[in-house]
Amino acid sequence: MSNIDTRLNVSPVPPDEIFALNGAYAVDTHPQKVSLGVGVYRTDDGKPWPLPVVQKAEKALVVEDDLFRHEYTAIEGDVPFLGIARDLMFGFEGKQSEEDAKARIGSVQTVAGTGANHLGALFLAYHMKPTNVWLSNPSWANHQTIWELAGVPRKTYPYYHAATRSFDFEGMMSSLESEAQEGDVVLLHACAHNPTGLDPNKEQWVAIADLCERKKLFPFFDSAYQGFASGSVEEDAWAVRYFFNNKPDMEMCVAQSFSKNFGLYGQRVGAFHYCNNRASVSIRDVVVNNLCHLIRGEFSMGPRVGCTIVKKVLNSDELTADWHEDLKVMSSRIKAMRKALYNELVRLQTPGTWEHIIQQNGMFSYTGLTPKQVYALKDKYHIYLLKSGRASISGLSQKNVAYVAQAIDDVIRNES
């Protein structure tokens, strides 16, 4: 390094674990290899599943042959899409009138959920200057990177109780109650918590909302799995809608992704919604204006093709009904694979308790496996999951679930 002539001050950063794991899986030639790392939906044959409703929309768009389909949109994005995305997220079935509710929300298009999280973090760092952002322990690893790059100090609140493999509600509330300061941001997963698969129940969500309101904390929702987690877009948006409708004097925001629920992983479809309190609706357009200032300097406007597909589907009652059926297909298969893995581990009398696998929700399971056990699964059985023990349930199938369960049983018994 001493012979390199450069003005750069750079040091190696650790590779992203998920993408590194996926790369190792890709070059593995073992016939029984299993990928439980990357968070994408797979069929029981282990193949990608372009949603049938998305394929219908794509065919219709080809026939329409819109001459403007590759043109620029606005800096805030495709405006009709933003209205659809907002309505899907918030529902507007609360006590406020629909017009008043919509007047509180400023929306812009983003580069998927990651872009929405990043834009929101940057906007708050510039214009609210929070002392800290509170992330769950554990959380999606990219949350740490996003807020680090935004320059906001990160703190964590307890979320996972390892001994019981359950949501640590008491730990979360106690930590935020005693340590969080007025104006701090609290990052909340709207549903299907990544990586644990553990969500607060509705009573707990109510208590979290009350705490945020009382301590004047700023809720930042990351909604990556609406409709994918339970099969119901209403159920998966319950927490966001409760906060918005029942705490109208509290500001909040939502990062919304369409990667999982439409299977548009590579199309990067997302939105960011800033919710003013009901006394500040007059500044909504100023908020959007400032968000656009950041967008213009970073990527000018959101991608067009993916949001056009979403817009095509959700503007049609028939296609929307088809989409709801596709969501049920995906969520049902995930639930079935959870049950199948649990049944196999029980049949094998694998040491430990495994009820958490079927109690968790969404794409991921925090299995409780140790890093040593995870490495053993990869080295001996060619089964790939994160060193934290997080497994992507969509990588399981009727063909490999018994193999995976037997491998887990083996590495646990050999370690004990």
Amino acid in the structure at residue 96: Q
Confidence of residue 38 (pLDDT cuts 50, 70, 90): confident
Q: Which of 199, 205, 260, 323 is labelled catalytic? A: 260
Q: Which of 222, 236, 326, 409 is labelled catalytic? A: 222
Active-site residue, 260 included: yes
What is residue 14's DSSP assignment? P
Please, what's the b/e burial string for 252-265 (b: 16 or more CB within 10 A of its CB; e: otherwise)?
bbbbbbbbbbbbbb
User: Which domains occur in the chain, in start order?
Assistant: 17-49+329-415 (3.90.1150.10), 79-315 (3.40.640.10)
- The answer to whether residues 112 and 222 touch, using CB atoms and an 8 Å cutoff, is no
The first and second tokens of residue 398, run together, are 């009727």
- The answer to whether residues 147 and 121 touch, using CB atoms and an 8 Å cutoff, is yes
297 φ/ψ angles, rounded to the nearest 5 degrees = -80, -15
Confidence of residue 5 (pLDDT cuts 50, 70, 90): confident
Active-site residue, 236 included: no
28: Cα separation from own chain's centroid: 28
Q: How far apart are CA 322 and CA 155, in angstroms?
A: 42
Active-site residue, 222 included: yes
Computed over every residue of the chain, the mean pLDDT equals 93
pLDDT tens, position by position, 326-373? 999 999 999 999 999 999 999 999 998 899 999 998 899 999 899 999
What is the pLDDT, as a whole number, of residue 20? 87
What is the pLDDT, as a whole number, of residue 95? 53
Instruction: Tell me the Cα Rg of the chain.
Output: 22
Nearest to 172 by CA among 227, 226, 217: 217
pTM recorded for the entire structure: 0.93
Q: Which of 140, 147, 205, 323 is labelled catalytic? A: 140
What is the pLDDT, as a whole number, of residue 96? 59
